[in-house]
Amino acid sequence: MDQVRSTIKRLRQKLEETPKHPRYLVNVRGIGYRLDLPSEVRKAWPSRLPLLSKSVSIVKLLIIVGLTLTIAWFLWRQFPWGDPFTPAWYQGHRVPIGLLHFLDLGPFCVVASPPDIYCFDREEEVAAAMGKILPDTDPEIVDGLRRTGAVPILGAEWGHPAQMIWFGQQTLPFGVMWYQTKGQTFCHDGRGPGILTCFATAEELAAATGLPLPGTKAEIVPSSQNVAEPAGCAVYVVLYEHSSYQGRALALCYDEPDLRDVLFGGLASSLWIPPGKAAVGFEAPIFRGPAHLFSQSLPSLAPLGMDKALHSIRQAPLP
């Protein structure tokens, strides 16, 4: 009790103008002590309550943010792919891989060429994209997905589908463009050797090259000029994936020592030669192996034994 009295005495010495006649810390007989605030302090006290309440709210907010960041950091460390904000290709779009993981989408992911990550919903899609038959996958489903261009192609003998190309005023991996166009790609190398600009229709390629390509609809070509990126060079040969000028197409302005660099290695089954042009094709890269002179269009390379055998090509003077 003496300690309480001494404490009250010290407080009165600090607060009271006349400690022997206290106004603020007063005795209440039989109960203890009471704090009597001056009227001006009591009037000002309620106005300070909102500020105190706001301070408490800010502290709570800081605590919540701190806990959220701590949990996020922990999950980040546990995430199997590292940075959850790393973009991954999913159904033709770049999406943070952490978002896919959170939404339980695209659980089957592969790294095609670092740092490109591709995610799929089924193992058959992974197998089709990689061009392999994986364990526990249905070969018929895999073949159907690959044949119809239902998935991006990540592995192929004719070139690396992760190679970046121009498509629709943007750059993206060729395999993704393949997916978006369902396997219908029409490209030229007008930007420079090995640099491809691609389109979804043959009419756009015809508009870009200014050539009357076989199988194109003349009435559609002029309207395609608004979307086509002009080649800006003289095309000397157009290669086609299938006979009779069908399938994928590649218009070349420059000599190509390895057609895999333009995603057409060992793929051509027919070729179209513009008037006044000629080309020499080789069965091996770097202009080696058996060579054939092409001075006119050929709807099929099979009679020459060159079907799917062209691996390098260059422009040649007319004979």
Q: What is the pLDDT along the chain (319 residues), one digit of tens a residue?
A: 566 677 777 777 777 777 777 777 777 776 677 777 666 555 555 554 454 455 556 767 777 777 777 766 655 555 555 567 778 888 877 888 777 777 777 678 776 654 577 888 888 888 888 777 777 888 888 888 877 777 777 666 666 666 788 887 788 888 777 777 777 889 999 988 888 999 989 999 999 999 999 988 887 777 666 666 788 889 999 999 999 999 999 999 999 999 988 889 899 999 999 999 999 999 999 999 999 999 999 999 999 999 999 999 999 988 7
Q: What is the pLDDT of residues 276-319, one digit of tens each?
A: 999 999 999 999 999 999 999 999 999 999 999 999 999 998 87
Encode the chain in three state secondary structure: CHHHHHHHHHHHHHHCCCCCCCCCEEEECCCEEEECCCHHHHHHHHHHHHHHHHHHHHHHHHHHHHHHHHHHHHHHHHCCCCCCCCEEEECCEEEEHHHHHHHCCCCEEEEEECCEEEEECCHHHHHHHHCCCCCCCCHHHHHHHHHCCCCCCCCCCCCCCCCEEEECCEEEEHHHHHHHCCCCCEEECCCCCCCCEEECCHHHHHHHHCCCCCCCCCCCHHHHCCCCCCCCCCCCEEEEEECCCEEEEEEECCCECCHHHHCCCCCCCEEECCCCCCEEEEEECCCEEEEEEECCCECCCHHHCCCCCCCEEEECCCC
**Domains of the chain: residue spans and CATH:** 2-78 (no CATH), 162-319 (2.60.20.10)
pLDDT tens-digit series, residues 84-113: 777 888 887 788 877 777 777 767 877 665
Taking the whole predicted model, whether its pTM rises above 0.75 is answered as no
